[in-house]
Amino acid sequence: MLHRVFDVLARGAAKLAANTVILSLREGYIALIPFFIMAALVSLVTHWLGYEHLQGPYAYLHSFNNLIWTLFPITTLLSFSYYLAKNLKLNTFAAPILVLTCFCVATGYIYALDSGGVGINNRAGVLYTILMPIFCCYLLRSALSLRWLRIMSVGNVSLFLVKHLNLMLPYVLTVFVTFVLFPYFDSGLGACLSWLSASHSDWSQWQQLMSQIIFSHVFWLFGIHGDNTYHILASAELTGYEVVPGLDNYSFLSTFVALGGSGGIWGLLIACLLQGKQSHESQIAKLSAPFSFFNISEIMMYAVPVVFNPFFIIPFLLCPLVNAAIAYALLQSGALTLSNIDSIPWFTPVLLSGYLLTGGFIGVALQAGLVAINTLVYLPFVRANSAHNISGRELDILVKRVSAGRQLERHVEAQFAKRNTAQFADQRQLHKVISALKEGTLCLYYQPKVDNTTHKIIGFEALLRLKQADGQIKAPWFIDVLERFEMMDVVDSFVIDQLELDLLQFQRHQMNPKISFNISPDNLINRRYRRVLKAFSKFPGQVEVEILESSYNNNFERTKEIVDKLRAAQILCAVDDFGTGYSCLNILSKLNVDTIKFDRSLLPVNAEDKATYLYENMSQLCNKLGFSVVAEGVESPFHVDYIATLPVNLMQGYYFDMPLTLEQAMRRYSSS
């Protein structure tokens, strides 16, 4: 049963992780971790050491603490807006400024004072820190797609200038629509909150407690500071009450429910540590432990993450409910008594807070038992998250899928100053490439390589593809343009990182196919070979770098040196498209590669074709020199029968399969 649940969660997690809004939220929250930790530490210091009561030179600390939490909605809004704009291919400065303006004016977060100054109402618009960026950014993107709103077209003018001038009318339209619709939406939301507050005002202490735990933790799952938001939205009757006589809800929740932070984070932290030293979860848990000691849970919340992670919905809600139910039952039965009715600050470490509240080790034992229960609850979900969800390096790859176009766009503007009339046509062609990459996403497809004798799939060649906005998959027609402008590094980086991630996916399914890939010769020789070593040395004998024959012709000694380094790390090397350049038999005898790939153009059309003699002798020669031979372009039964008689190791071509997605490739490999 649990296995089925995790399968459902895995599918949900994959869809969520790939969703632009969720990806942007996660990026935004991770970027804000330093701010969250700083804000929590400032609160810790001001409350713990009582600086809010001090005068003179330390008085500013209390004001600083208030200011930090007042700015909390703005920081969340700007960070989310920036990353959502980036992933929607919008201007990453103009879009956040637009969102900030709409948010502050529409919600009343910033308002004018009669004295001429401005004030801030940090209770206003807390729910709109997520809704406003989504609405404004998607509306702005739709407006930008309307050609009749464009003031200028691309010409002999800076692309940077054209892009910003064309923002003017979409900007105005977005602001107008937001201000027209917001009052109606806000009125409806306000009526709903008023109804909820009025209908629940007569709840018992137990009902109030459950309501606070559930609603605050649901807010946390959406990345909103749950405790603060609940206190802002709920009525005073639902936020200030005694759980049992002499024990207010604040002390009860701090001592027996939020053990390490909302969601029983100490249970999650220990479960993550049990994953093993090298796991993503374990490393984040080690980093978070010193902060969780004082119930500061933001690192675990946003870096593991808990926010927008379907794997943690159940334990994140279940653990605090279990903690509350056990502690409440013990208090009601008299098995747990209190000796200190003073409020226990939220930052008091677990075990110490239990000792202080109960005046003995019974409180310590209860907290330790609750942490143990929380750990057992979290453990299977942490393992499932580690096995199926996107985290760590995988997030970086997901981000790169949608950012290649914007990275290249920065190169374009840098080159504008160097452009002259003779280069204008090339610049327009480059602009076309940049537009295509901004509107689409890069991806890898896999073409099978089959054994010449058994016809079983031995491995794949990783092929770069562009998924257009309309869903069509196109071959990388833009490579020549990027090479001409020396911009291949962004694409090569994506290929290496994505292949590393996909190899881990094969590994998780107990599959170890040999996979080859291409990389720009200049990048391999000058820079990227170190990245190749780092990415693929952990897959010994499984990865093959395909090097163009021209690399040896242009710089034989340097190419030979790099190939030796790769092979020393058990990364195989192949000469790609052999026979299409200035093939030299002298170089062939000195090559230090493992494989020779015969270009498709060398294959004979039929048995009478004179190319049969050339292909036969080349394959025999390479075989005697100790190279593995791969025949590319196998597309007919004649090709298969003809190659079967030759000392060729592998075949590759449309006769066996078109390039496949990762999921299709894994299914074909497992069934071969």
Which H/E stretch holds residue 326? helix 313-333
Contact 201, 235 (CB under 8 A): yes
CA distance 560 to 593: 9
Least confident residue range of 261-275, 301-315, 425-439, 515-529: 425-439
pLDDT interval class at 494 (50, 70, 90): confident
pLDDT interval class at 209 (50, 70, 90): confident
Which H/E stretch holds residue 242? strand 242-244
CA distance 634 to 168: 54
Strands 514-518 and 457-467: parallel
Burial of 530 (0-12, 13-18, 19+ CB in 10 A): exposed
CA distance 275 to 277: 7
| Arithmetic mean of pLDDT, 496-508 | 89
Helix axis angle for 128-144 and 94-107, nearest 10°, is 130
Burial of 116 (0-12, 13-18, 19+ CB in 10 A): exposed
Per the model's pLDDT, the better-predicted residue between 60 and 664 turns out to be: 664
pLDDT of residue 422: 40
Helix axis angle for 226-233 and 205-221, nearest 10°, is 130
Has residue 427 got a pLDDT over 80?
Answer: no
Contact 111, 153 (CB under 8 A): no
Residues 217 and 331 placed together within one structural domain of the fold: yes
Per the structure, the count of domains in the chain is 2
Q: Kindly report the average pLDDT of the chain as a whole number.
A: 80
CA distance 582 to 647: 23
Q: How is residue 433 written in tokens?
A: 């490439």
Of 327, 361, 391, which residue constitutes the final position of a domain? 391
Identify whether 454 is part of a domain. Answer: yes
Residues 372 and 512 placed together within one structural domain of the fold: no
pLDDT interval class at 237 (50, 70, 90): low
Cα dihedral angle (627, 633, 639, 643), rounded to 10 degrees?
Answer: 0
pLDDT of residue 54: 56
Has residue 72 got a pLDDT over 90?
Answer: no
Contact 105, 178 (CB under 8 A): no
Identify whether 79 is part of a domain. Answer: no
Residues 300 and 377 placed together within one structural domain of the fold: yes
Has residue 580 got a pLDDT over 90?
Answer: no
Identify whether 520 is part of a domain. Answer: yes
Place of tokens 């374990």: 282
| Percent of the chain's residues with pLDDT above 90 | 25
CA distance 396 to 275: 21
Question: Model pTM greater than 0.85?
Answer: no
Per the model's pLDDT, the better-predicted residue between 12 and 372 turns out to be: 372
The rounded radius of gyration (Å) of the Cα atoms in the chain is 31
pLDDT of residue 229: 72
pLDDT interval class at 417 (50, 70, 90): very low
Least confident residue range of 162-171, 194-203, 350-359, 446-455: 194-203
Contact 573, 594 (CB under 8 A): yes
Q: Residue 279: count other Cβ atoms within 10 Å of its Cβ.
A: 18
Least confident residue range of 206-210, 252-256, 369-373, 398-402: 398-402
Residues 488 and 354 placed together within one structural domain of the fold: no
Of 363, 391, 419, which residue constitutes the final position of a domain? 391
Query: One-letter amino acid identity for 351?
Result: L
Residues 356 and 461 placed together within one structural domain of the fold: no
Residues 372 and 449 placed together within one structural domain of the fold: no
Query: One-letter amino acid identity for 75?
Result: T
Of 349, 366, 391, which residue constitutes the final position of a domain? 391
Omega cis (within 30) before 349: no
Find which of 53-57, 65-69, 87-91, 454-458 is predicted with most confidence, using mean pLDDT.
Answer: 454-458
Residues 375 and 505 placed together within one structural domain of the fold: no
- Please calculate the CA angle 500-504-510 and round it to the nearest 5 degrees: 145
Q: What is the pLDDT of residues 261-296, one digit of tens each?
A: 888 889 999 999 888 766 778 888 888 888 888 787
Identify whether 362 is part of a domain. Answer: yes
Place of tokens 């992780």: 17
Q: Across-strand partners of 457?
A: 450
Residues 245 and 341 placed together within one structural domain of the fold: yes
Identify whether 125 is part of a domain. Answer: no
CA distance 563 to 322: 59
CA distance 543 to 519: 13
- Among residues 207, 307, 327, the alpha carbon closest in space to that of 263 is found at 307
Residues 491 and 348 placed together within one structural domain of the fold: no
- Among residues 472, 305, 293, the alpha carbon closest in space to that of 391 is found at 305
| Arithmetic mean of pLDDT, 3-13 | 60
**Close Cβ partners of 377 (under 8 Å, ≥ 6 residues apart):** 267, 315, 318, 319, 322
Domain that holds residue 283: 200-391
Residues 382 and 448 placed together within one structural domain of the fold: no
Strands 118-120 and 572-578: unpaired
Has residue 89 got a pLDDT over 60?
Answer: yes
List of E strands, 98-181: 110-112, 118-120
Residues 340 and 483 placed together within one structural domain of the fold: no
Chain centroid to CA 498: 13
pLDDT of residue 418: 46
- Which CATH number do you get for residue 501? 3.20.20.450
Identify whether 37 is part of a domain. Answer: no
Burial 396-421 (b: 16+ CB within 10 A, else e): ebbbbbbbbbbbbbebbeebeeeeee
Secondary structure of 263-300 in HEC code, one letter for each residue: CCHHHHHHHHHCCCCCCHHHHHHHHHHHHHCCCCCHHH
Q: Across-strand partners of 474?
A: 466
Cα 427 to Cα 29, 163, 255, 433, 484: the distances in Å are: 37, 15, 64, 10, 11
pLDDT of residue 177: 93
Q: Is 515 helix (H, G, I), strand (E, B) or coil?
A: strand
pLDDT interval class at 398 (50, 70, 90): very low
pLDDT of residue 298: 77
Which H/E stretch holds residue 247? strand 247-248
Identify whether 355 is part of a domain. Answer: yes
Residues 361 and 494 placed together within one structural domain of the fold: no
pLDDT of residue 474: 87
Identify whether 105 is part of a domain. Answer: no
CA distance 127 to 103: 11
Q: DSSP for 39-79, please give it.
A: HHHHHHHHHHTTGGG--GGGHHHHHHHHHHHHSHHHHHHHH
Which H/E stretch holds residue 249? helix 249-252
Strands 242-244 and 441-451: unpaired
